Structure 1
Amino acid sequence: MNRLRGFRLRAGMTQAELARAIGTTQSHVSEYESGARRIETMPAGEFVRLKAVLDVTDALLLDADLSGIDPDAVAAAENRVARLRRRLRRRRDRASFDLLVEAELDLARRMDEREEVVARAMGSRA
């Protein structure tokens, strides 16, 4: 699956919705996803909006070597945080709060590790 398409689907957006959000056309988004257009050639303003809308880094969008990242571990940590947030809204007890804090810290650690791998990968591309 194309990296951009995966990020778009993760965000729950259609090509048309993403296009509106970044200020381009659906056909351009389709061309970026298919490889007919390279993301590296995207106008800077659109690229900045794309990163913000999809909540991703340059390296992730530009397909850096991210072999040191376990995307399933990050996704699992994000899902655990979401579940525990819902639990805390229902229960509002100390145990739920403590579990949520622990899960948030785990997610932050995993995201820091991911950013370190991305930074190393981007350094090797320069």
Structure 2
Amino acid sequence: MSLFNSLFGNSEEKKVTTSKINWIPLTNLDQLNEIVALSNEKPIAIFKHSTRCSISRFALKQFENEYALEDKVDAYFLDLIEYRDVSNEIANRFQVVHQSPQLLLIKNGQSVYDASHDAIDAGDLVERL
């Protein structure tokens, strides 16, 4: 392996990322109806992530490092570049201004908390449960 590859990585190598969060991929509009229904039984977190944004990537990693909610919340992950229609419907349905990155907490069918950028904090999420 060359010095360049050892410093910056090989573009052919696939990075394996692991998370202690059991993310549920949010990929279609029908899931929003499920989220509303499920949120009457258990809080739902939605993390809206832009795969093109370094700030979003940093916020996601920071959130994953701080997260300690295991069974208290079901966590959904939205790639808002790939599923922009779902992101737009989240803003409309839960009456929040679209941000990226953004974290929402859904309880009883409503957004009771949302944060974006550097305000995303797993500790704040715990306080709102």
TM-score between the two structures when normalised by the length of structure 1 = 0.27
Larger helix percent = 1
Larger strand percent = 2
TM-score between the two structures when normalised by the length of structure 2 = 0.26
Larger radius of gyration: 1
